[in-house]
A and B are shown apart, each in its own frame.
Chain A
């Protein structure tokens, strides 16, 4: 299959997988919609699983993972459904609420809007990786102290976003915090308390 685009050397495995997929598809004369076709042609289950997955290396909360995932698996669903890291929440699945906020290489992003495979080789930090053992991160402690939540469902996303907000230098005033935290919806409406928590951390001078 010489018309496949080239891949970086580290993706040899992925390449082999694609090649395998392509030849498999050729073998059963199915082009070009692999899965719909696999579905309707009642391809053997194991074959279907094999062609659907690609290898993926991630470092999550300091731990290295070697995984095989479907390209269509989002980072959020990978965390929640396959790795049991359910601290990261699904609130809308469309990038409209911020509950799924995690850090990828230190930057806050919506984990629902990217495929896990796109983050191959990257470092992910979720709410589970924020505390230092039993010692809460200063932002976590400030959220408890200022009651920056009610139901708690948006809270992991709020905290991950808040930590990034301070690190980015976007927490210099109440107005700036309000704007740069607007990507995290709290339907319980604990907004004022969230701002208080962020301001305390920002002004406290602790390392975030």
Chain B
């Protein structure tokens, strides 16, 4: 037989590419159901208080309106029953917002009513007719006030070993007595995910106790669990479909009020209900990267060895739900330093709950740490790359464990060479091209190489096609394509013979897509399921064929219509015969991480980003002219999609560095930057030709594939690389993102 080219590591086109370029890929709001109705949310116009009354009469009488639901008339949601705690007291650990459950307003634009009509236009019109009266209370949305009342997260109080608990290695705050000392504050504003697809759901009660939702979510299983619990249903009675997800970047990691509202509405009107958020509502009610204040204290010896780092961070959360992230993690393990301590606090404000946004806290934290590294290198009159090399660590300083793999030095070298780091001048403002100053900067990113548990099932069809099914979603990285490649290599089949199906809670359970963990986790499950299928088929064939009975599963070969053996193609078992047995070609496998390895090694992915920027000193305009991202992410399953993912992270980092910010009018507790004209994300003209380099060395311990994860490290470290390059170009250090022209003129 003709040997197949290896798929893992190839540049296979996306398996769903054809659907995406023809408009045939179906996203959540695009399913056609008979009797569809349309829901539009009405939001509060105050940030805190009590709803005194809602006048829905005009809306109810408007043409085509099927229902106007508020807390006055909402059907009872079993999962919303009070837990016995005093509901009048703010409880940041209280959990998700229970929509239409009480008269409390907890943030501006909180859903206070949902209008359902037979057409979208009518629902939208009627929603404008709903009028509410409030008893307003004094709200607090100002981060400065939040900082004054910052508190230790409950999670940290309960568990001192928690990642958000205080950490000390050596002496706390030792930087204060260091030889060369730096103390600086860094601020990241509230940033919004703004995926291109608006958050959307179609809720359909197929029976009084059976719910199907077509929902924009990163985790079909998690969403199923949330809404089964909300309605007191067995999980198997709730079906979640999320085949195509139009970007998310973290904001579909949580279940949000609009989803509850659509399900309530569908219950009430007894028809399928489609609810698509507006772009403004994408800002106000489905999460964001929290406004975060940070302070870094750092000291070093004159020869460039870090002696101490203190990293403090306070992130914003809502008044009703505690959101935490790993903002200070990179500081604990990135550089060798005898004295390191971190403190992480929360500031509860009258806003909706934040949620992880790409790279999440680590990207926020890396802005502070990697900016401080650049500042210290400048104080020491050292090249920032050289400074990092002098503080490189061969084992994890947080716990003393060896790294499962670490090719960070290779990244430094490859990236520096490609950007032309040697052109960088130590003295800021030294390079100029006409009206533009030129600068170079770098930033490092790291993220845990996480692997969870996952199942996968696989079935051989009589025509020789192998179908795999997983509840996992593919929000854009190309999960379906990577899994197809892994299956193809494991089975020795061309990718056209593999069909990987995803995005349905009824498929084999898989974790939520997030934390760069999907290939690490679902990949091994697919691999093991395919191996199990081989073994099962071999055994089955072996029942009547001695050659198969004595063969190893590794020798099993899938031919066009029959199974055969490597080196013995006279041994044949036709698929048709094999599949006569009940469920003959079906295998489900559960794959779990190797706990022992997890205990023995510290597992991380790494990225190094090098930026070349051009700054107009007159107008403060900044253009990223070149960006090189180099990653140590273990085995690269697909060079094309992985490269694309890295480029996308870099573009996200450009947004973070140069333009992304919300502005809140604290008098009203209401955002003034709610759409894509006011909240800027990078456009085509902002994106340089990002060059991506992969070390592409398998990690021997995370899983058998050798993968470590890409999604987060693609953005972590990009923003500081750009900020550092702006400093190198201009001598101006901007410690509060984004670096807009007003901060440079």
**Chain A residues close to B by CB (< 8 Å):** 35, 38-40, 42-43, 45, 48-49, 52, 70, 72-73, 77, 80-81, 84-94, 96-97, 99, 126-128, 130-131, 136, 140-141, 143-145, 147, 149-156, 159, 174, 177-179, 181-195
Contacts and interface: CB of A to CB of B under 8 A. Distances in A.
Contacts of A92: 198, 279, 675-676
29 contacts: A35-B63, A39-B58, A39-B62, A81-B38, A85-B23, A90-B198, A92-B198, A92-B279, A96-B675, A96-B677, A97-B676, A99-B196, A130-B22, A144-B14, A144-B17, A150-B477, A151-B244, A151-B246, A151-B475, A151-B476, A152-B19, A152-B244, A153-B244, A153-B247, A174-B689, A179-B685, A187-B247, A188-B648, A190-B647
A179 B683 CA distance: 9
B553 to A, nearest CB: 34
B455 interface: no
B652 interface: yes
B249 interface: yes
Contacts of B120: 77, 81
Given A150-B648, A151-B196, A153-B195, A195 B684 contact: yes
A177 to B, nearest CB: 8
A147 B644 contact: yes
B569 interface: no
A77 B651 contact: no
B639 to A, nearest CB: 10
Contacts of B490: none
Nearest to A84: B32
Nearest to B687: A191
Listed from nearest, the 9 A-B pairs whose CB atoms lie closest are A87-B23, A189-B651, A153-B246, A189-B648, A152-B20, A150-B476, A151-B476, A127-B23, A191-B687
Contacts of B645: 150
A68 B262 CA distance: 29
A40 B119 CA distance: 18
Contacts of A186: 196, 651, 684
Interface string B9-28: 00001101111111111110
Interface in B643-658: 643-645, 647-652
Interface residues of B, number: 70
A49 B38 CA distance: 17
A185 B641 CA distance: 19
A93 B198 CA distance: 10
B682 interface: yes
A35 B125 contact: yes
Contacts of B249: 187
Contacts of A190: 644, 647-648
Contacts, number: 202
A153 B27 contact: yes
B25 A152 contact: yes
Chain A CB count within 10 A is highest, among B24, B126, B195, B676, for B676
B681 interface: yes
Contacts of B475: 151
Contact of A49 (B24, B61, B63, B652): B63
B239 interface: no
Given A48-B63, A128-B22, A191-B687, A89 B197 contact: yes
Contacts of A77: 120-121
A108 to B, nearest CB: 14
Given A84-B32, A94-B675, A38 B26 contact: no
Given A91-B279, A147-B640, 20 more contacts: A40-B58, A45-B63, A52-B63, A91-B676, A96-B675, A127-B21, A140-B22, A143-B21, A150-B645, A150-B648, A151-B244, A152-B25, A152-B244, A155-B20, A156-B21, A185-B196, A188-B648, A189-B652, A189-B682, A192-B690
Nearest to A140: B21
Given A52-B63, A92-B279, A150-B648, A188 B22 contact: no
B478 interface: yes
A77 B123 CA distance: 13
Contact of A188 (B476, B684, B685): B476
Contacts of A140: 21-22
Given A147-B640, A151-B196, A93 B676 contact: no
B23 A88 contact: yes
Of A93, A143, A185, A187, most B-chain CB atoms within 10 Å:
A187
A40 B61 contact: yes
Nearest to B650: A189
A42 B644 contact: no
